[in-house]
Structure 1
Amino acid sequence: MSQPLFGLVPAGQPVIVTPTETPTPNTFLYAIPTTKAAFSHIVIFLLPGIVLPEGSAAAIYLVTPAAPGQAAPNSRFLGGVGTGKESAIFKIGSGGQGQGGQENVVLGISLEPAESVAARMAEMSSATATGAGALVPVSAAADQRLGPSTLVLAQRIIKNAFNFLASFSGTAGQVEVVPLKAFEDWWRKFESKLRTDPGFLERDD
């Protein structure tokens, strides 16, 4: 596979199609300079007309320098692209600065079995959904303490007002009206109840 397979577009930079290095026929490294423009997101896509070998997908990695005592650099799985998902956007970090003082961000793309790539992507999605990948994990108990949505609160305020004002309604010709004083009375009582029982709207009474 001598022809370029992938296009990479770091945010705010031109498209890149030629790998910096090709360690094996199925692995590609892209060293992207950050000296001209730092970036935190990158789009990776299959070039037009490219079809990956059957049963394979492209696994995307962020490659960082080896820690002291390590022989090989570290790689963090970011996701994948392939048949049915020909492009994706990846967050690579804060500001896209080179890792460990490097002036380049290094991305690796590896052709691997599609089932393996899909399984790792599913694991990532599951970890994010449970809060494992969040900056501040949210426990189930904390989630249960979250109040109702803004829409629900608005509906309950309207319901409270309607129930109070309905008994004051009258007609002016063929139009049903409510005296302004009745609305003022409702608002005064509503404010008073909020002060004495701030959580009453959160209860679905």
Structure 2
Amino acid sequence: MPYGPGRLVQTDATQVNERKFLFTLMDMDNVNHIVVFMTGQAAFPDGLGAAVYINWPSSSGETSWQLIGHLTNQKPSAIFKISGMIKDQNSASNVFSDMASHPHHAQLGISLEPLAELAQQVPVTSVNPSEQAATFEEFVNNMLMSFYNYSTSFSKSLAEIASIASTMDGSVGQTQFLPLSVLENWQKLFQAKLSRDVNFWKK
């Protein structure tokens, strides 16, 4: 069953044949993600999973089916990013090409296929790897700056710490303090690693 943020779940699939099902997705211009999931009422038959396709019809009504991912009994739901996908015929898959389409709506196709075949299929992506890396690096740098700014907002000078300690009953002696330079050096080291290899944290 598919749905988009702020929309009702769609259950009105058209059964094309024994293993193919079709959903019409209305007004998709401003939708960035869709969720497709199994309801839990029935599992896929043994040895089968679902290939998930999306179709962006052209103004002339021609179809452009693109594989966006898979569902299996071990992975019964998935979120697919569809913003930025090329809506043309260049990377079309013809698995549903015999289906009529409406130029103002998208279509979602579910095709039950052997797991061995699903494992060999490569979904299209809405952004290329270099764009993904740039987006991740930007996110991490923003996260680092947020953490740095938050942490340093609590910083105290030695004189301030001494003043606070003089007004307390000695419990401050149990508190540990971290020099701000340690945080600054860690941030620089992390950013340097990130600039050399955006995936260094996976290693």
1:49 matched to which residue of 2? 41
SS in 2 for 1:110: strand
TM-score (norm 2): 0.53
Relative to 1, partners in 2 of residues 1:38 and 1:20: Cα closer, same or farther, differing over 3 Å? Answer: farther
| Matched ranges for 1:159-198 at <5 A | 161-163=156-158, 165-166=160-161, 171-172=166-167, 174=169
The whole-number CA distance in structure 2 between the counterparts of 1:18 and 1:172 is 70
Cα contact 1:157–1:201 (8 A) shared by 2: no
1:30 matched to which residue of 2? 23
Relative to 1, partners in 2 of residues 1:67 and 1:83: Cα closer, same or farther, differing over 3 Å? Answer: same
1:9 matched to which residue of 2? 3
Structure 1 position 52, deviation (Å): 0.8
Structure 1 position 83, deviation (Å): 0.6
Query: Which has the larger Rg?
Result: 1
Cα contact 2:71–2:78 (8 A) shared by 1: yes
Specify the code of the residue in structure 1 equivalent to 2:18: P
Unaligned ranges ≥5, structure 1:
1-6, 178-198
Q: Number of residues paired by the alignment? A: 163
| Matched ranges for 1:138-153 at <5 A | 138=134, 146=141, 148-152=144-148
The whole-number CA distance in structure 1 between the counterparts of 2:118 and 2:73 is 12
Cα contact 1:45–1:86 (8 A) shared by 2: yes
Structure 1 position 30, deviation (Å): 1.8
The whole-number CA distance in structure 2 between the counterparts of 1:173 and 1:149 is 33
User: What do residues 12-63 of structure 1 show as CA deviations (whole Å, max 9, x unaligned)?
Assistant: 44433343351x422222223339x964433322234211111221111111
Specify the code of the residue in structure 1 equivalent to 2:44: L
The whole-number CA distance in structure 2 between the counterparts of 1:73 and 1:173 is 74
Specify the code of the residue in structure 2 equivalent to 1:31: T
The whole-number CA distance in structure 2 between the counterparts of 1:109 and 1:201 is 50
TM-score (norm 1): 0.53
Name the structure, 1 or 2, with higher relative contact order (CA <8 Å, separation 6+). 2
Unaligned ranges ≥5, structure 2:
90-101, 173-180, 189-203
The whole-number CA distance in structure 2 between the counterparts of 1:81 and 1:107 is 13
2:14 matched to which residue of 1? 20
Cα contact 1:19–1:29 (8 A) shared by 2: yes
